[in-house]
Structure 1
Amino acid sequence: MPVVDVGVDELESMRLNILEKLSQGEAAQKMGVHQSTFQRTLRMGLEKVTDALVNGKSIFLEGGEVNMPGGDGTGPDGTGPTGARGQGRRGGGNRPGRGAAAPQNCRCPSCGHLEPHQPGVPCSQAKCPECGSQMVRG
């Protein structure tokens, strides 16, 4: 099954704008990024999720460990709508970013071939060198 990789920054931008109903300016400020960066991140996330829903693709959340306590919509750090760190992708804090998790592989779902995952490059963009199928994370 084809996979769409959604970053935690894209997920957070959708959460703030859609679920928290913050304006793009307020959400950008909360994430600690410029409004134009927030707008691009939001659009990319919405395009990816829409592609997955319309075209029957899996959604893979990438970018490190994400803790959503109780699944109550309080965000990746669980502090709620008024206490989020707002650090964005590169802003620091103690949330791991890309490459901070244990090393992972890209796997071919057809033949099982494994390749080391390249940080910043979604596995779904790679083709299996053995059989040519689209790779997946894991």
Structure 2
Amino acid sequence: MARPKLPRNICGSPPNSCFKPNGIPMSELDQVELALDEFEALRLVDLEGLQQQEAAAVMGVSRQTLANLVKSARKKMVDCLVNSKALKM
């Protein structure tokens, strides 16, 4: 049995719920789901420029958990860019 997720501090939701390639109907695209905690981890580390230790403290998680969130989110984003998939949040 997996350990339950602890609550994480998230500073709001993204302004848009989906990003997709132009000119392709949504019904024809594969979709990848980006979780809110992954979005927040990317925002803190890549946009705000915080160190992982600082970002982990802001979110209320361990540094390793934050690193796992960032790694997962980056992989999903690159998959969407390279393979023309829709990114849903």
| Alignment TM-score, normalising by the size of structure 1 | 0.44
- In structure 1, list runs of 5 or more residues that go unmatched: 62-138
Aligned-residue Cα RMSD (Å) equals: 0.4
Higher relative CO (Cα under 8 Å, sequence separation at least 6) belongs to: 2
The whole-number CA distance in structure 2 between the counterparts of 1:14 and 1:27 is: 9
Structure having the larger proportion of residues in strand: 1
Spell out, residue by residue over 1:39-98, the C-alpha distance to the aligned partner (whole angstroms, 9 max, x if none).
Answer: 00010000001100110000010xxxxxxxxxxxxxxxxxxxxxxxxxxxxxxxxxxxxx
- In structure 2, list runs of 5 or more residues that go unmatched: 1-28
Structure having the larger proportion of residues in helix: 2
The higher radius of gyration belongs to 1
Question: Sequence identity, in percent?
Answer: 38
| Alignment TM-score, normalising by the size of structure 2 | 0.68
Report whether the alignment pairs 1:11 with 2:39: yes
**4+ residue runs of structure 1 moved beyond 3 angstroms?**
none
Question: What is the aligned length?
Answer: 61
The whole-number CA distance in structure 2 between the counterparts of 1:32 and 1:42 is: 15
- Give the C-alpha shift of residue 26 in structure 1: 0.3
Name 1:51's counterpart in structure 2.
79
